[in-house]
């Protein structure tokens, strides 16, 4: 596979070891590899080449960060697959969450730890037992599945994050997850807030959901709306 095809598969990016010196010079001369328009991307050119196929949305930045997390290991040689976890995994999957003090984390197998990029702000969590059941592809990025990603995220929410925490939980419900699954996911935040009605703090995820329901009513799922149309 040529470097143009590789770049097309990698959102317009190429690791340095994915092109030879001759190919690099050719690509620069042709205008295929160039200098990205934003300073923060220019600083990352020491890890990755930007091609004319590159885009610069926030999802593209997440893919770039995953790619350069192991800057000398091409994606097809990352076995088992490392994946982005927690809040950022949720955001890549189009969840709106609060911005917390949660570290940017990547779950990685021990085999890849010697090749991690320690200069881009990731916290690497070693897992010796990564399987394809742990992650999904979202926008071509391996990310933690929703429920365990939520559980990591809710460890870091604060008292100011109540409405965002409710919205994330209700969004999971509308994506098809059960209230039992969601209760398990939000349980780390059980003691953060208290009920205005009782003055007590929830002690588990189910009690925290009850607190959420006190303050907000979740909209029905689409399937519920279709089964019970207005006037029925």
pLDDT of residue 223: 60
The encoded tokens of residue 64 equal 């770039």
Q: How confident is the model at residue 15, as a pLDDT?
A: 98
pLDDT on residue 228: 40
Listed by start position, the domains of the chain span 1-56, 70-152, 157-227
Q: How far apart are CA 162 and CA 83, in angstroms?
A: 28
Q: What is the pLDDT of residue 197?
A: 87
pLDDT given for residue 225 in this prediction = 45
Tokens standing for residue 88: 């950022």
pLDDT value, residue 229: 36
Q: Which residues, other chains included, contact 77 with Cβ-Cβ below 8 Å and sequence gap of 6+?
A: none
Mean pLDDT by 10 residues, the chain (232 residues): 97 98 98 97 98 96 98 97 97 92 96 97 97 97 98 97 97 97 98 92 97 93 51 32
């Amino acid at each position: 596979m040529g470097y143009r095809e590789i770049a097309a598969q990698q959102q317009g990016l190429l690791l340095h070891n994915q092109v030879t010196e001759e190919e690099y010079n050719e690509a620069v001369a042709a205008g295929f590899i160039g200098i990205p328009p934003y300073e923060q991307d220019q600083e990352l050119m020491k890890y990755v080449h930007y091609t004319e196929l590159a885009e610069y949305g926030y999802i593209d930045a997440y893919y770039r960060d995953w790619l350069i997390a192991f800057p000398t290991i091409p994606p097809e040689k990352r076995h088992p697959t490392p994946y982005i976890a927690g809040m950022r995994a949720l955001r890549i999957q189009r969840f709106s969450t609060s911005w917390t003090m949660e570290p940017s984390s990547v779950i990685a197998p021990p085999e890849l730890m010697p090749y991690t990029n320690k200069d881009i702000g990731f916290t690497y969590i070693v897992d010796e037992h990564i399987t394809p059941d742990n992650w999904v592809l979202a926008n071509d990025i391996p990310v933690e599945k929703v429920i365990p990603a939520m559980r990591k995220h809710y460890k870091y929410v604060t008292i100011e994050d109540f409405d965002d925490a409710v919205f994330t939980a209700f969004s999971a419900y509308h994506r098809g997850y059960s209230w039992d699954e969601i209760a398990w996911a939000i349980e780390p935040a059980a003691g953060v807030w208290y009920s205005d009605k009782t003055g007590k703090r929830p002690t588990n995820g189910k009690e925290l959901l009850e607190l959420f329901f006190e303050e907000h009513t979740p909209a029905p799922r689409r399937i519920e709306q279709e089964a019970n149309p207005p006037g029925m």
